Amino acid sequence: MIQVSEVVKTFDGFRALDGLSMHVPKGSVYGLVGPNGAGKSTIIRHLTGVYRQDSGQILVDGAPIFENASTKARIGYIPDDAFFFQSAGVRDMMKYYQGIYPRFDRARYERLREVFQLDEKQPIRRLSKGMQKQALFWLSLCIRPDLLILDEPVDGLDPVMRRQVWSLVMDDVSENGTTVLVSSHNLRELEDVCDYVGVMHKGKLLLEHALSELQDNICKVQLVMKEGGGMPEGLNILHENTTGRVQTLIVRGKQEAIQKTIKACDPLFFDLLPLSLEEIFVYELGGVDYEIKNILL
Amino acid sequence: MGPIDYRDSRPIYEQIKDSIRRLIFSGAMSEGDQLPSVRNLAAQLSINPNTIQRAYRELEAEGCVTSVPGKGSFVRKTDSIEAARRRELFSKLDDATSALYHIGVSLEEILAHLRAQKEGENHDSSI
């Protein structure tokens, strides 16, 4: 659905995107994660045709996206900083969306009123941040998008509304095969909804994997070796930490293989634990110099 | 279908597999019962439909679920389920036994405990 290759974007000499390549398969839910300032919002503004890249290529559904109205008509976009016309209510914005998006589904708009329960006449700019997000979801789901691009979508939403919007989006994914690209810092939540994950750092994509593949290929080992017993060899250790006699290792590889290697060394005790996406994120970025520093103030 | 346990660090498809297995093992779902549709479960739990698809696919490979194209997925009761249930419970017992071992409880003590518990159960049922 989205094919980005070697994209560079410079702002006043600062390379916000530095040869970024990524690939979002059709029908997938792709989570874009990365530290602050990694360039997530910048690439999203390219994918929605807001910015034009300095070099490289961005194809959405096989066609360049910049100034491409017919493709953009099929993209729903929820930006982090929403824009609404001065004193426009949800109903006014709905009419505007209806004029712009040829696939706007009025019946769906009426049905979703029950979910969002916003006052349609109230100027959206006077609503709270979370309610503005809700208004955006309401409008964006009505355009029946083939691609939904969400930049920090649940920021400001309460827990009930978060579940509610994800439920609506997931229904769209399973029913219509909608492709979703979502950037967020809430990794716990991304783990539920995504099947692909891309990790960005300093304008580049560090890694891009199916989530299941990512989780199947890394695990946490807690290990106590016997007195004088040697460490198991042949493990691809990403990170290790010793507290007393207990060693905690982050190991890359298949769980069964790791288990076998460790068992062969006859440890006093060991336990294999899967890693959450949050832990994977921390350890993968630890390898590229973005670590939690142990500073006591 | 129970909700996802957010403190559980296991992958979500594993959690889904587990809760369906538990429903089948405990008899809450019996042979021929239909599993919730992928779309329904995705919307209900707010999780990716492909994750659910994967859980269903693996359950099918294990033999406790059959999929009928266009109809959905159904519970299949086979001996392998009973066997799998036994395996699962025994592995729990193994975990507990080895934990007891590590704190210095002897095999005799563990066996004595198991016997006493069994007798207690028989005693209860005779009342």
Half-sphere exposure of A11 (CA within 13 A, CB side): 7
**pLDDT score recorded for residue A196:** 93
CB contact under 8 A, B46 and A212: no
Residue to substitute from B5, B38, B48, B94, interface A, most A β-carbons within 10 A: B48
Coil, strand or helix at A83: coil
Half-sphere exposure of A19 (CA within 13 A, CB side): 1
- The region, left, alpha or beta by phi > 0 then psi within -120 to 50, assigned to residue B70 is left
Say yes or no: B6 contacts chain A, CB-CB below 8 A: yes
CA distances from A36 to A41, A200, A238 (A): 10, 10, 23
Which of A167, A215, A279 is closest, CB to CB, to B11?
A215
Q: What ipTM was estimated for this complex?
A: 0.73
**pLDDT score recorded for residue A75:** 95
Which stretch of A163-172, A230-239, B43-52 has the lowest confidence by average pLDDT?
A: A230-239
Tell me the sheet residues that pair with A61. Answer: none
> What residues of B are in contact with residue A279 (Cβ under 8 Å)?
9
**Rg (alpha carbons) of chain A, rounded to whole number:** 23
Say yes or no: B9 contacts chain A, CB-CB below 8 A: yes
Say yes or no: B48 contacts chain A, CB-CB below 8 A: yes
Which of B9, B48, B54 is closest, CB to CB, to A29?
B48
**pLDDT score recorded for residue B7:** 67
Confidence of residue B2 (pLDDT cuts 50, 70, 90): low
**pLDDT score recorded for residue A120:** 93
> What residues of A are in contact with residue B49 (Cβ under 8 Å)?
170, 173-174
For residues A284 and A95, give the distance between their C-alpha atoms in angstroms, rounded to a whole number: 46
Residue to substitute from B7, B46, B95, interface A, most A β-carbons within 10 A: B46
Say whether pLDDT at B124 is over 80: no
Which of A29, A174, A269 is closest, CB to CB, to B102?
A269
For residues B38 and B36, give the distance between their C-alpha atoms in angstroms, rounded to a whole number: 6
To the nearest whole Å, the CA of B125 is away from the closest chain A CA by 38
> What residues of B are in contact with residue A194 (Cβ under 8 Å)?
48
Element (H, E) at A30: strand A29-33
Handedness of CA B36, B83, A269, A261 (dihedral sign): negative
CB contact under 8 A, A167 and B50: no
Which stretch of A58-67, A87-96, B14-23 has the lowest confidence by average pLDDT?
A: B14-23
Q: Is the CB of residue A20 less than 8 Å from the CB of residue A30?
A: no
Confidence of residue A254 (pLDDT cuts 50, 70, 90): confident
CB contact under 8 A, A188 and B47: no
> What residues of A are in contact with residue B13 (Cβ under 8 Å)?
212
For residues A65 and A2, give the distance between their C-alpha atoms in angstroms, rounded to a whole number: 10
> What residues of A are in contact with residue B11 (Cβ under 8 Å)?
212, 215-216, 274
> What residues of A are in contact with residue B54 (Cβ under 8 Å)?
212
Helix B49-62 and helix A159-176: axis angle, to 10°? 70
Which of A28, A174, A212 is closest, CB to CB, to B42?
A174
Confidence of residue A76 (pLDDT cuts 50, 70, 90): very high
Which stretch of A35-39, B86-90, B93-97 has the lowest confidence by average pLDDT?
A: B86-90
Say whether pLDDT at B58 is over 70: yes
Which of A192, A215, A279 is closest, CB to CB, to B47?
A192
pTM here is: 0.81
> What residues of A are in contact with residue B57 (Cβ under 8 Å)?
none
Confidence of residue B120 (pLDDT cuts 50, 70, 90): confident
